[in-house]
A and B are shown apart, each in its own frame.
Chain A
């Protein structure tokens, strides 16, 4: 099945810094999702991005499907950006679709 790898596993920033998180996937995908999991466990959709670039405030994401990777950019980071960022790619199994998650990037933003 599809493999999803994220890097770096851990990232520590000072407030105001920018960062780039990477997600590599082993097979072609027809969509790619980025999530933010806060310290309370809430898994929040950030982007649904099969290809191209999307922006939402200080966050943006780019997926290059032909090269099997996606990038999440965080600009002017804030302490509330702390948490774990996951990317997930779909794979079909019989009549169902499941998301395969990477192991995540744990981001800590210090004041």
Chain B
């Protein structure tokens, strides 16, 4: 089975632009989470979606939004990009259980100039 897939792998944007990142979970996984990892830090939780509904949101501004589609894939959108949004964006999927391990994709490396 394929793992979590993310696209694109790398992206360069300028300040003020908008970006859309995509994620396909492991087959059978219904929960998708997004994490942001800035250089030198551990990943920080942004969103969790399950069955197309937002189940949790981290401490990120409203410029960050996401959605989940009927096939459980997900998009993360960031508006009005700032230099500080430069980071590795990781998508993870899991079965719906508080005891299910997360499986991460390879990430999208976003650079904002």
Contacts and interface: CB of A to CB of B under 8 A. Distances in A.
Interface residues of B, number: 25
**From DSSP, what is the main secondary structure of chain B's interface residues?**
strand
Nearest to A98: B45
Given A98-B45, A103-B41, A104-B42, A30 B98 contact: yes
B107 A95 contact: no
A96 B45 CA distance: 11
B106 interface: yes
**From DSSP, what is the main secondary structure of chain A's interface residues?**
strand
B42 A88 contact: yes
Closest 6 CB pairs of A and B: A96-B56, A101-B42, A96-B55, A98-B45, A48-B101, A96-B48
Interface of A: 4, 30-31, 33, 35, 40-45, 48, 50, 86, 88, 90, 92-104
25 contacts: A4-B42, A31-B98, A33-B102, A41-B106, A41-B109, A42-B104, A42-B106, A43-B107, A48-B101, A92-B98, A94-B56, A95-B55, A96-B50, A96-B55, A96-B56, A97-B48, A97-B56, A97-B98, A98-B45, A98-B56, A99-B43, A99-B92, A99-B102, A103-B41, A104-B42
